[in-house]
Structure 1
C-alpha cells in the first residue's frame, strides 16, 4: 500500500502479510523533470515492476550485530521487537485491517541470553545464533551449551556441542526445568508445545540416593512425562563408566516419581546377564522411603527343610510412622511373622514397636522326635522429648515374650541374643504437680523374666507419690541455719500389685492366685547440723505404715492332717513401725608432694569416715502363737508373706561403720604449653562397711563388705571389684558359729566371695587423639548394645543395614589402600568370681569376652566376636564377619563355626535401597542336632 502525505509531500509504503504490518519503509520522492518522456516512462515502469516483485518476494536483510566478547553481558530482547526495523515508524497512519486477537505473540516473556564468542541475529533465516558457552534463560527454563540456535518463527531452540582446537566435541547441553536437569549431546525444544527431542541424555534423580538415567533418544511430551528409547538405569557412583546398569528398551519416565519400562535386563561391566524381566517398575519418589515388597531370603536346615525368611511388605504410611509386615516359612510346616513400626513426631516423642510370633515344628509328623511349640516376643521403645511437657513424661522399654524365644528362634536377627538370661521390661508415667509443696506422681509397670528357670516377676502396676521436703521452722528468706531451722519432713506413698509366676501361666487366671497387693506410707523426719565445724551430723526418725489386703492365720498342729494348716484371710489390715537413726562423718585430706620437677608432682588421698546408729524397737503386739507338730508354741505374725516385710520382733541397736577412699594424682602434662598439671584418678572409690548389733545374743558383727573401682589408660579400661569378709568361722555343715575365724585357727577374716570385672575398649584413634567410634547398637533385636555376643544383622533388609556402622558417611573414607595405619576397634570384657561360703574354695566363673573389627582396606572389613571360658576350658559363642564394598554392590559373609548355633550367611546385592531386590543370598540355619 502506497500512501501520500500532503504536508510532508512524501509517500509511505506499507507491506502487509497475513493481515499484519511487519515492515515499514519510508520513501521520499522528489518531482522528476525530464525533457524526454520515454526516460520518465522507463523509470516509472521499472519502479512499478519493483513494487510487484517486492510484494511477491519481500527481501529482508540480516542485521549486522557485532560479536559480544564479554560473556557476563546479558541482552534482554522483547520478542516483538525482533521483527521491527530501525527505520522510523509513521504513527499518523494506522492499519485498517484488524489484527487477530486470538493468536498469541511469538513468546510469553523475555529471553535473557549470552555467549562468549559471538551472538548473531539473521533476519533472513529468522534465527539467533549463540556460540561458545552459550546460555539462554526463559521463564523456568535454563539452557547452556556450546552452540544454541533460536528460531523465533517456529518458537524452537536447538542446542549442541562444539569442537575444540583438538577436534573433540565439548560443552554438551545442560537443560534445566525447575528441579529437573538433563545433560544430552543435543536437544531440540519447542517453547510453545513444551515438547522436545533429546539425544544421548543423562539425568540424575536424587532421592536420598542418586540414580542416573541414560537414554539414546528421549521424547519430552510435557513437563512430567518423557518417553525413553534404549535407556540405562544405574545407581553407580561412576556415571561415566558404571559397573552395572539395567538396560531399558522402551519406557515411560516421570521425573522424581517413576519409570515404567518394557523388557529390561541387567548388565554388569557392559556384559549382559540373564537377570531380566518382561516389564519393570522403578519408583523414584523424593520421599525418604517408599512402600514396596521386601524379598525373602532362602535358607535350608536338616530338621525344618528349606526356608524363606524375612519376606513381606513395607508400608510408608506417612512422615510420622511406618509399618513392615514380614514372615518366615519352612517346608516342614514351621512359620513365623513379624510386625514392625517406627513412629516419631519432632519435639514430641519417638519410638518403635515390634511383635514377633513363630510356630516351630521339629522333624516330621509321625516321627518319634516330632514336636511343636509356639514362641513370641514383644518389643516397645518409647521416649518423650523433654520439650514436649516439662511436667509429664511417658517412657517405655519393653522386651517381653516367651522365655525360650531367643533360644528356639532361627531368625538371623536373633542369632547373637540366645545367650541372654534375663528379659526386662518397664513402662512408666511421671507427672509433676508444681506449686508448694510440689508433688511427684509415678506409675510403673515392670516385668522381669529369667530364661533359665522360666520364672516371671511382674508389678502391675507400681504407684509412687512423693511430696517435697517441708521446713516448717525455716525463715521466709530461705536461709536454714541451726538444728531447729533444718528440721524437715516428707511424705512418700507406694502401692504395688506384685505377681510371681512362670512362663506357661502367663495371661491365665492361675497367674493371679499368688498375687500380692500392698500399700506403704513413709514419713521421714530429719535435721542436720555441724559439730566443731568439721563433723557433719544428721539425726532423724522414720514412721512406716503398711496396708495389706491379705493376711494369714496359722492353726495348731492337726494330727489327722499331719500338718499345721494356714488360712488366708481376704481382709484389710495394717501395721505401723518406727525407728531412729543418727550419723556423723567428716572428710580428711592428705596430700603428698613430690616436687614440680617430678613427673608425678603430688598424690591426694581423700578419706570419708562415717559412723551411724540405728534403733528399731520390738513390735510384738503384731505377733500371735500357734502350736507346732513338736508341741512347742511358736510366734508368728499375720502379716507374713507381705510385700513390705513384717514388723520386727526383737530390738535392733546397730552401729554402722563405713570408710570411703578416693586417690588422685597431679602429673606433669605432656603438652608443653599447658600451665597447670594434669589430674589423674588413681582410685575412684574404695569402700569398707560393716555393722555391730549391740543387743544381739550372738554373731553381733556383720560381714565386712569391700567394693571399689578405678579406670586406666585415659578411662578406656574400667575395673570394678568387690569382696565379702566374714569375721566368724563355720562348722562342718557350713553354718556360721559364734566364734571368730582367727580363734578357730584361721585368718582374721574369711573371704566368702569375691568378684572382678574388667572392660576395655579402644580403637585406632585412641592413641592419635581422635574421636572414638561409637559402639554397635544391637538393641533393635533386644540384645546388648555392643557386639561381644555378635551382631544382629539381616543384610537382605536395607532398613536394618542402614543403621549399621558400615554405612557411615563416606566423605572421610580414603579412595586408595591404607598405608601404615589400619582403622580397627577392640572391646574386651573379663569376669572372675570366687566362692568360698562353705569351704569350697573355687572359681565359679572365669571368662574373657572379646570383639574386634579391622578395615584391611577401604573396601575390606573383617570382624570377630568370641570368648574363652577358663573354667569350662572352651571357646564361647563365636561369630566371624566379612564385608566387601564393591562400589555399587556389597558382599557380606557371617559365620558361626561351632556350637549349637553353628550357621553361615552369604549375601551379595546392590547397595541402593531402590534396587535392593537385585541380590543373591544363601544361608545355613543352625541345627539343634549338631
Structure 2
C-alpha cells in the first residue's frame, strides 16, 4: 500500500468536476516484487477512434518499449516526484541504450535519465557510469540523458574511437552520430591516467567512427604544452579502410635538391581490393611514381601488384656529369587457396624491370635488394584431368634477368602435358610383382617459345625476331624388380622426338672466304633414344659400444651404405650431321667443317658420338645413439653424425682416352641442435697435367704424384640461433623478409633489412605484446637476441693455380639490451680481399606510443643514415619527423 498526505482545501464551497470522456485510454501496468530489486516497468497506450471522441491528436507516449532495470541495494519509485531511484550497481536497459552506474534516477516528468557515481567510506568515488548506445561506449563521471530527444550531457567522459582515446570535460551528445566536446584530450596512449602525449581539443565536433573536426589545438607531452599546434585540425576515426590523402615526407638530397617523397592518395575501392598512388618530386626535375594494390577474396585467392617508375636527373644541364635515367619495376604476386579448386591452380611471382633499378633507387625498402644479381618471374596455370590414366597440363611463362650483363631470358610460354604412368601388364587391384608386371610407360609433351634479349630491346620488334621455339615428345619406359633377394634392378629406355620450326644451313662463301650460316624456316625433326640400367642395394652396419655394467655415453653407431652401379648407352645419331668443305683458290679442299642443322634447337642437338659408360655411386649415412643428458628420459637420444657422404664417378667404355671421370665427393651434416648446417664438396681427378697444365691420358700417380689431384673444393656453413630458439619458433621480422623475397632478395637479413620507417606494414606485429609482458618479481632478466651467419670458402686447383678463389663470411644479429632498446647489424667480411662488405647498423627505441629508429650505412658508395621519430598509431602516423643523409654525390 502507498498513501500520501494532502492539505485540506480552504473552505469556500465544493467544486464538483464535470465528467468528460478522455480521447486517450492509458493502461499502466507495473510489476514490482518487493522482495527483489529486479523489476520490469511496462507502459502501453490504446488509442480510441479520435473521429468519434476527440479531434485532437494524442500526444506521443513517453516509453515505447520495455524498460528493464535492476540494482543491488534498492529500487524506489516516488510517485509525487515521478522519479525512479536505482541505487548501487544500478543497470537500466531500453532499446539499444544501456546504462550502468552507482546510482541512476529516471525522471518521468522530464523524460530524462541521470546517472552518477557513489562515494565509499573513504570518500573515493566508485562505480563510474558506463553509457552504451549501439556500439558507442562512454565512461563519464556523470551523465544526463533525455530519452525523448536522445540528447545527453556527459561530464568528464572517457571513450575510445578507432584506436584513439578521448577524455573530455563536457560532452554534448546531439544524436547517435554527433558529439560536441569541450577541453578534450585526444591520444593513442594506452596509459589513460598519465599519457605520454595528447592533443588538447578546446572545442571539437566528433562523429564516431568517422572523423573529428576541431579548432585551435596543440600537442602536450606529459602535460607540458608544446608549440606544435594548428589553428584547426582533422582526425580520421574510421575503423574501415577509406580513401584519403597520404602525407609526404620532406627532405633534401645531395644531387637532386629538396624533395617530397611518398605522398599521394589511397583509394579504398572495395572490401576486396585497394590502390595506393604515390609520387616523388625533386627540385632538379626528377620525379617518380608508384602504384601499389592489394587484393584478396577469402577462400579463393589473394595477392598484390605494384608498378614503380622513376625519371632521375643528376647534376645540372650543361655540366659534363649531367645524366638522365629512366628506370621502372613491376612486381606481382598471386596465390590461390588450395581449397578453392583442387584440380586447377594459378600462381604468379613477377619481378621484372630495369636491370639497374635496385642499384639506382634510394628507398630504404630496397636496401637488401640492391646486391641482387638476378631478377626472376614465373606465371603458371596447371590443370589436372582426373581419370585413368590421369592427365596433367600446365602453361608457364618465365623470366630471368641478369642485372650485371642486362641479358634477359624469357619463355613465352611453355606448355607441358603428361600422362601418368601406365602399367599395361599389372593385374588390377593386386600388388605388382616381377619384371613384366612392373613395366610402365609415360607420355610427356613440352612446347616452348624462348627469347633472349637485353634491356635496350625489351618488348621491341627486335626482341621477337630472335625468338626460338620447338616441341619435344618423350616416352620413357621402365621396370624394376628384386634380384637375388637383396638387390634392386631397374632398367629404362627413352624415346624422344624434337620438332623445330627453324633450322640453319651452312656453306662456304669464296668471296668472303668464310663459312656463312643462314636460317631456314620450316618444319623439321630429329629422333633419339637411349638405354640405362642400374643395380643397387642397402647395407646396414651397427657398431655397439655397450658393455654390461657400464653406462657409456656413446651407445652405438649405425652406418648405412647404399652402393649402386649403372650402365648407360647413348647411340650416335650422326645422320643429322653434314659437312662444309672449305676450298682454296685452286679448288682443293683444305678443311671440312661438320655441323648439324639443329644447332639452334632449344632442346639441344642430337648426340654425335656413341657413348657407353658405367657409373659408380656410393652413399653413406652415419647416426649415433647416445645417453640423454636428461636423467628423466626413458630412451637414448639419436643424433646425426653425417647426413650424407657420397662418392660418384664414371668410366666411359667407348672412349679412347681419359676414360675415368673425376671423383666427386659431397657431404653434409647438422650440429648444435640442428642450428648449424655444414655442406662440403671436393673433386678428385686421377689424371696428371703436362707442363702446359693440360690434362693428359696418364694417371697422376704414374707421373710422380699422388693418387688423385684435388682440383676443387668448397665448404659452406649456415648458422641461425636466437634466445627464442629454446622457447619456440622465431617469427620476428617476417614481413620484412617477405618484402625481400618479393624483390628477389634473400630469405634472411644478411644483406640488411627492408625498412620504411613511415610504413607500419613492415613493423613486427608482436612488439607491443612482447613489451606488455610483466617482469618477474625475482631478479632474473632475459635479454632477447638473435644471430645468423653464413661462411663460404672455395678452392681451385684445376690448372695448378692452388688458390682460394673466394672466402667470405656474412653475419647479422639483433640484441635487445633493455625492454625498449634494440640494436642490430648486418655485415660481412671478404677474407680474400680483406674488406668489409655492405654493412647496415640499426638502432630502435620503443617510446610507448612513439617509436624512434636510426639506420646507418657507414661506408661504401651507398653510405647514408636515416633518423625517424613518429607516432605508432596508423591514425596519426603522419605526425612524424625524419631526417636522412643520402650518399655523397659521385663525380
Instruction: Name the TM-score, length of structure 1 as normaliser.
Output: 0.88
Q: What's the offset of the Cα at 1:348?
A: 0.8
Residues 489-500 of structure 1 aligned to structure 2 (within 5 Å): 489-500=441-452
Q: Are the equivalent residues in 2 in contact too, given 1:68–1:119 (CA < 8 A)?
A: no
Residues 141-156 of structure 1 aligned to structure 2 (within 5 Å): 141-156=97-112
- Listed as ranges, the gaps of 5+ residues in structure 2 are 20-29, 46-51, 584-588
Q: In the aligned structure 2, how far is the partner of 1:229 from the partner of 1:805?
A: 36
Aligned CA-pair RMSD: 2.7
Q: Are the equivalent residues in 2 in contact too, given 1:817–1:857 (CA < 8 A)?
A: no
**Residue 785 (structure 1) aligned to one of 743, 747, 758:** 747
Q: In the aligned structure 2, how far is the partner of 1:316 from the partner of 1:473?
A: 61
* Cα distance, 1:393–1:245 mapped onto 2, change above 3 Å: same
**Residue 850 (structure 2) aligned to one of 864, 889, 893:** 889
Q: In the aligned structure 2, how far is the partner of 1:656 from the partner of 1:376?
A: 49
Q: Are the equivalent residues in 2 in contact too, given 1:494–1:520 (CA < 8 A)?
A: yes
**Residue 78 (structure 1) aligned to one of 14, 17, 42:** 42
**Partner in structure 2 of residue 720 of structure 1:** 679
Q: Does 1:835 align with 2:835?
A: no
* Cα distance, 1:818–1:905 mapped onto 2, change above 3 Å: farther
**Partner in structure 2 of residue 402 of structure 1:** 354
Q: Does 1:250 align with 2:203?
A: yes
Q: What's the offset of the Cα at 1:373?
A: 0.9
Q: In the aligned structure 2, how far is the partner of 1:49 from the partner of 1:826?
A: 104
**Residue 60 (structure 2) aligned to one of 104, 107, 118:** 104
Q: What's the offset of the Cα at 1:765?
A: 2.8
**Partner in structure 2 of residue 185 of structure 1:** 141
SS of match in other structure, 1:202: strand
* Cα distance, 1:475–1:756 mapped onto 2, change above 3 Å: same
SS of match in other structure, 2:463: helix
Residues 348-359 of structure 1 aligned to structure 2 (within 5 Å): 348-359=300-311
**Partner in structure 2 of residue 364 of structure 1:** 316
**Partner in structure 1 of residue 482 of structure 2:** 530
**Partner in structure 1 of residue 85 of structure 2:** 129
**Partner in structure 2 of residue 582 of structure 1:** 533
Q: In the aligned structure 2, how far is the partner of 1:111 from the partner of 1:75?
A: 9
Residues 189-208 of structure 1 aligned to structure 2 (within 5 Å): 189-205=145-161, 207=162
**Residue 274 (structure 1) aligned to one of 227, 236, 252:** 227
Q: In the aligned structure 2, how far is the partner of 1:339 from the partner of 1:746?
A: 65
Q: Are the equivalent residues in 2 in contact too, given 1:354–1:379 (CA < 8 A)?
A: yes
**Partner in structure 1 of residue 399 of structure 2:** 447
**Partner in structure 2 of residue 570 of structure 1:** 521
Q: What's the offset of the Cα at 1:813?
A: 6.6
Q: Which moved more, 1:237-246 or 1:899-908?
A: 237-246
SS of match in other structure, 2:401: strand
Deviation readout 1:39-78 (Å, 9 max, x if unpaired): xxxxx998875768999xxxxxxxxx9x9999x8312223
SS of match in other structure, 1:107: coil
SS of match in other structure, 1:914: coil
Deviation readout 1:659-713 (Å, 9 max, x if unpaired): 1111111122233343322221111111111111101011111111111111111
Q: In the aligned structure 1, how far is the partner of 2:3 from the partner of 2:191?
A: 58
* Cα distance, 1:323–1:800 mapped onto 2, change above 3 Å: farther
Q: Does 1:693 align with 2:652?
A: yes
Give the number of aligned pairs: 859
**Residue 800 (structure 1) aligned to one of 762, 767, 775:** 762
**Residue 613 (structure 1) aligned to one of 567, 572, 575:** 567
Q: Which moved more, 1:579-588 or 1:159-168?
A: 159-168
Q: Are the equivalent residues in 1 in contact too, given 2:37–2:75 (CA < 8 A)?
A: no
**Partner in structure 2 of residue 3 of structure 1:** none
Q: In the aligned structure 1, how far is the partner of 2:555 from the partner of 2:311?
A: 67
Residues 404-483 of structure 1 aligned to structure 2 (within 5 Å): 404-483=356-435
Deviation readout 1:849-906 (Å, 9 max, x if unpaired): 1111111122111111111110111111111111111111111111111111111111
Q: Are the equivalent residues in 2 in contact too, given 1:525–1:541 (CA < 8 A)?
A: yes
Q: In the aligned structure 2, how far is the partner of 1:184 from the partner of 1:481?
A: 83
**Partner in structure 1 of residue 216 of structure 2:** 263
Q: In the aligned structure 1, how far is the partner of 2:496 from the partner of 2:61?
A: 94
Q: What's the offset of the Cα at 1:720?
A: 1.2
- Listed as ranges, the gaps of 5+ residues in structure 1 are 1-22, 26-43, 56-64, 82-95
Deviation readout 1:757-797 (Å, 9 max, x if unpaired): 1100000133x444434564433251222111111111112
* Cα distance, 1:910–1:808 mapped onto 2, change above 3 Å: same
* Cα distance, 1:804–1:241 mapped onto 2, change above 3 Å: closer
Q: What's the offset of the Cα at 1:481?
A: 0.8
**Residue 233 (structure 1) aligned to one of 186, 206, 220:** 186
* Cα distance, 1:306–1:106 mapped onto 2, change above 3 Å: closer
**Partner in structure 2 of residue 750 of structure 1:** 709
* Cα distance, 1:818–1:610 mapped onto 2, change above 3 Å: farther
* Cα distance, 1:815–1:854 mapped onto 2, change above 3 Å: farther
Q: In the aligned structure 2, how far is the partner of 1:364 from the partner of 1:334?
A: 11
* Cα distance, 1:217–1:151 mapped onto 2, change above 3 Å: same
* Cα distance, 1:180–1:633 mapped onto 2, change above 3 Å: same
Q: Does 1:826 align with 2:782?
A: no
Q: In the aligned structure 1, how far is the partner of 2:308 from the partner of 2:378?
A: 19
* Cα distance, 1:815–1:258 mapped onto 2, change above 3 Å: farther
Q: Does 1:874 align with 2:835?
A: yes
Q: Are the equivalent residues in 2 in contact too, given 1:658–1:688 (CA < 8 A)?
A: yes
**Partner in structure 2 of residue 917 of structure 1:** 878
Q: In the aligned structure 1, how far is the partner of 2:276 from the partner of 2:545?
A: 66
* Cα distance, 1:168–1:446 mapped onto 2, change above 3 Å: same
**Partner in structure 2 of residue 658 of structure 1:** 617
Q: Which moved more, 1:625-634 or 1:888-897?
A: 625-634
* Cα distance, 1:401–1:460 mapped onto 2, change above 3 Å: same
Q: Are the equivalent residues in 2 in contact too, given 1:867–1:877 (CA < 8 A)?
A: yes
* Cα distance, 1:928–1:686 mapped onto 2, change above 3 Å: farther
Q: Which moved more, 1:431-440 or 1:503-512?
A: 503-512
Q: Does 1:908 align with 2:869?
A: yes
* Cα distance, 1:191–1:341 mapped onto 2, change above 3 Å: same
Q: In the aligned structure 1, how far is the partner of 2:34 from the partner of 2:815?
A: 58
Q: What's the offset of the Cα at 1:145?
A: 1.9
SS of match in other structure, 1:106: coil
**Partner in structure 2 of residue 639 of structure 1:** 598
SS of match in other structure, 1:669: coil
Instruction: Name the TM-score, length of structure 2 as normaliser.
Output: 0.92
Q: Are the equivalent residues in 2 in contact too, given 1:68–1:115 (CA < 8 A)?
A: no
Deviation readout 1:820-856 (Å, 9 max, x if unpaired): 4200111011111111222111111111111111111
Q: What's the offset of the Cα at 1:220?
A: 1.3
Q: Does 1:760 align with 2:719?
A: yes
Q: What's the offset of the Cα at 1:128?
A: 2.1
Q: What's the offset of the Cα at 1:297?
A: 2.0
Q: In the aligned structure 1, how far is the partner of 2:430 from the partner of 2:312?
A: 67
* Cα distance, 1:331–1:101 mapped onto 2, change above 3 Å: closer
Q: In the aligned structure 2, how far is the partner of 1:45 from the partner of 1:166?
A: 48
* Cα distance, 1:468–1:611 mapped onto 2, change above 3 Å: same
Q: Which moved more, 1:892-901 or 1:410-419?
A: 410-419
Q: In the aligned structure 2, how far is the partner of 1:120 from the partner of 1:308?
A: 67
Q: Are the equivalent residues in 1 in contact too, given 2:33–2:39 (CA < 8 A)?
A: no
Q: Which has the larger radius of gyration?
A: 1
**Residue 847 (structure 1) aligned to one of 808, 813, 830:** 808
Q: What's the offset of the Cα at 1:162?
A: 2.9
**Partner in structure 2 of residue 511 of structure 1:** 463
Q: In the aligned structure 2, how far is the partner of 1:361 from the partner of 1:181?
A: 55
Q: In the aligned structure 2, how far is the partner of 1:686 from the partner of 1:848?
A: 25
Q: In the aligned structure 1, how far is the partner of 2:370 from the partner of 2:437?
A: 57
Q: What's the offset of the Cα at 1:548?
A: 0.8
* Cα distance, 1:150–1:380 mapped onto 2, change above 3 Å: same
* Cα distance, 1:814–1:696 mapped onto 2, change above 3 Å: same
Q: What's the offset of the Cα at 1:819?
A: 4.2
